[in-house]
């Protein structure tokens, strides 16, 4: 069993043919986790009933030959509730907390017979771009252990890249699935906002958060997406839509905002991106330079809206009903001690920023204005998609950086999201696919190419990504 070349589709075919059982497949991943996870710190916990889950899936195989997710071992970012399991969101403040219900996506995957391998490391409350902000240690990039895997879903990306799982889920608020997918050389797909339920996802910024799959191929990402998408009565923002509106054509117009890409992007990333443009042209598609007027404000808008929603969402973690609790002289002292010890530096920074931009006298100047620019950016993209079918950029302006390299400079870390945040602000579907490697310090480090499509145009997005993937090998 070669885990390095195994995909969900291939594993399904082998399982149906009887080449191996779900138990044998699961055992292979558990053995790999045992060997590699100590160095990577991708998993925070591996569940003790994986083989029992596998035995149940084996019983279902004969009767469910069209169920591609049956028996597929998967990893889950540690901010999704799995009933009866610990969940920490990478934070000390949720120490000892066990989920009381299943997240919407977990419910669907359990019904499909997916094997839940364990929970993966993440930046605390999904706040970060490197998985260095976890209260449970740094996750390392399988391609170079001295480098970050990206964030905030770095544990899931690293686990998949190191063949410690066959698929994974993360959450993408500003690129937290696509950017680590780029750094680790896997596929990361963010659906349109509302296509996948957020029920049971520990919230960071509710208007931007989106549960999203990691996979080895575009086809695998589509398989996972087709299981987890759909309306959920527990999430009022989830959409009840059966089919995507947009359909693919043989020749597509692909817009490239060069005015946004060329400044501050590493040369190796630009060289690879120019090669990717040539590949799209070789496929017969037309690549058109475009201007998106307000895209330059997207990062500033993001880092006003996110802290504002963070300060509101994280108010519930006070040590009274669950998680960490510290005793002070009075109730206020309890809160101050608990939150002071329970939250890490980046979380505290964003809570303070968010409280400030929502405060009296500053709300209109900051949060109100950010939402106005958000609407301008949505209008920009609507206009752009009247001219082109997709927008194409690099996924990240850099290759994976060294652990600790940017830890003392929050702004440098925030800039890692520059190409990914527009899709979250506008609610658009976006995918990162491997586009090659850059030789850095003697190591081949992965690079990613990002396509963004109109709202609900997931089917077209998968189509164009598969075309590039096939040509890119």
Nearest to residue 429, comparing CAs of 215, 204, 189, 244? 189
| C-alpha span between 37 and 305 (Å, rounded) | 35
Nearest to residue 218, comparing CAs of 256, 187, 180? 187
Q: Which two tokens stand for residue 352?
A: 């303070």
| Cβ neighbours for 148, distance < 8 A, ≥ 6 positions apart | 130, 131, 132, 138, 139, 140, 141, 154, 183, 400, 401, 402, 403
Check if 176 is active-site.
yes
According to DSSP, residue 430 is labeled: E
**Residue where the block lists tokens 């949505």:** 378
Q: Considering Cα of 190, then 192, then 197, then 198, what sign does the dihedral take?
A: positive
Answer for the pair 421, 302: CB distance below 8 angstroms, yes or no: yes
DSSP conformation letters of 26-80 = HHHHHHHHHHHHHHH--EEEE-TTHHHHHHHHHHHGGG-TT-TTTT-EEEEETTB
Q: What angle do CA 390, 394, 399 make, to 5 degrees?
A: 160
Backbone angles phi, psi at 201, to 5 degrees: -95, 125
| C-alpha span between 152 and 158 (Å, rounded) | 11
Preceding peptide of 152 cis, ω within 30°: yes
Considering 91, 153, 156, 176, which one is annotated as catalytic? Answer: 176
| C-alpha span between 73 and 22 (Å, rounded) | 9
| C-alpha span between 264 and 340 (Å, rounded) | 36
| C-alpha span between 49 and 23 (Å, rounded) | 11
| C-alpha span between 401 and 399 (Å, rounded) | 6
Buried b (16+ CB within 10 A) or exposed e, 215-254: bbbbbbbbbbbebbbbebeebeebbeeeebebeeeeebeb
Answer for the pair 255, 387: CB distance below 8 angstroms, yes or no: yes
Check if 146 is active-site.
no
Check if 152 is active-site.
yes
Considering 130, 152, 430, 432, which one is annotated as catalytic? Answer: 152
| C-alpha span between 345 and 350 (Å, rounded) | 9
Answer for the pair 101, 81: CB distance below 8 angstroms, yes or no: yes
Residues carrying an active site annotation: 77, 152, 176
């Amino acid at each position: 069993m070669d885990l390095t070349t195994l995909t969900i589709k291939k594993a399904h075919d082998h399982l149906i043919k009887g080449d191996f059982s779900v138990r044998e497949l699961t055992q292979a991943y558990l053995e790999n986790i045992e060997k590699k996870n100590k160095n990577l710190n991708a998993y925070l916990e591996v569940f003790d009933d994986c083989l029992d889950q596998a035995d149940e899936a084996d019983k279902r195989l004969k009767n469910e030959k069209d169920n591609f997710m049956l028996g597929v071992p998967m990893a889950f970012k540690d901010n999704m509730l799995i009933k009866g399991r610990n969940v920490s969101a990478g934070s000390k403040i949720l120490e000892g907390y066990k989920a009381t219900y299943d997240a919407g996506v977990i419910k669907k995957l359990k019904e499909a017979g997916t094997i839940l391998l364990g929970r993966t490391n993440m930046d605390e409350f999904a706040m970060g771009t490197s998985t260095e902000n976890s209260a449970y240690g740094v996750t390392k990039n399988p391609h170079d252990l001295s480098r970050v895997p990206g964030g905030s879903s770095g544990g899931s990306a690293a686990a998949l890249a190191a063949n410690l799982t066959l698929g994974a889920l993360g959450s993408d608020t500003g690129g937290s699935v696509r950017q680590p997918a780029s750094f680790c050389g896997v596929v990361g797909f963010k659906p349109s906002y509302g296509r996948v339920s957020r029920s049971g996802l520990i919230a960071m910024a509710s208007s931007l958060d989106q549960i999203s799959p990691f996979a080895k191929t575009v086809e695998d990402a589509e398989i996972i997406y087709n299981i987890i998408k759909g309306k959920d009565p527990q999430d009022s923002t989830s959409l009840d839509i059966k089919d995507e509106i947009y359909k693919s054509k043989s020749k597509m117009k692909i817009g490239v905002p060069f005015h946004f890409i060329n400044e501050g992007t590493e040369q190796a990333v630009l060289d690879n991106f120019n090669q990717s443009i040539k590949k799209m042209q070789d496929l017969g598609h037309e690549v058109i330079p475009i201007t998106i007027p307000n895209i330059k404000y997207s990062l500033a808008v993001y880092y006003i809206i996110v802290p504002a929603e963070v300060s509101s969402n994280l108010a519930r973690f006070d040590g009274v009903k669950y998680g960490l609790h510290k005793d002070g002289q009075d109730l206020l002292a309890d809160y101050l001690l608990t939150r002071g010890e329970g939250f890490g530096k980046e979380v505290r920074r964003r809570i303070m920023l968010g409280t400030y931009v929502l405060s009296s006298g500053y709300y209109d100047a900051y949060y109100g204005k950010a939402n106005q620019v958000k609407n301008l950016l949505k209008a920009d993209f609507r206009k752009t998609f009247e001219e082109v079918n997709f927008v194409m950029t690099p996924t990240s302006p850099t290759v994976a950086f060294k652990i600790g390299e940017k830890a003392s400079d929050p702004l440098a870390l925030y800039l890692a999201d520059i190409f990914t945040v527009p899709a979250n602000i506008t609610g658009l579907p976006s995918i990162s696919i491997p586009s090659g490697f850059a030789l850095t310090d003697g190591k081949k480090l992965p690079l990613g190419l990002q396509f963004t499509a109109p709202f609900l145009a997931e089917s077209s997005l998968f189509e164009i990504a598969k075309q590039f993937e096939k040509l890119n090998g």
